[in-house]
Homo-oligomer: A and B are copies of this chain.
């Protein structure tokens, strides 16, 4: 499946979330990752994210399509280079 993950978390958890997601997905922009995951990887990512976030303060949306062919992606402006460590 093809996955887009957007997250809004406390600054003290952002780095952990980013480092974790980088193991499975591609960094797209600030707080956004996307990429291909197997169903097993998806379950692992979802479960680990649940552990990493503060359930009352943070929010993560995981959008997924069964196949990338169902997803149109349009990019406006200039994609930034990833900043490896913002904090």
Residues of A participating in the B interface, judged by any CB pair closer than 8 Å:
1, 4, 6, 8-9, 28-32, 46, 49-50, 53-66, 70-80
A10 to chain B, nearest CB (A): 11
A63 to B8: give the CA distance in the assembly, Å. 18
Residues in B whose Cβ lies below 8 Å from that of A55:
76-78
Residues in B whose Cβ lies below 8 Å from that of A66:
70
Identify A29's interface contact among B8, B29, B62, B77, CB under 8 A: B8
A46 to B1: give the CA distance in the assembly, Å. 26
Is the pair A6, B6 in contact by a Cβ cutoff of 8 Å? yes
Residues in B whose Cβ lies below 8 Å from that of A62:
72-76
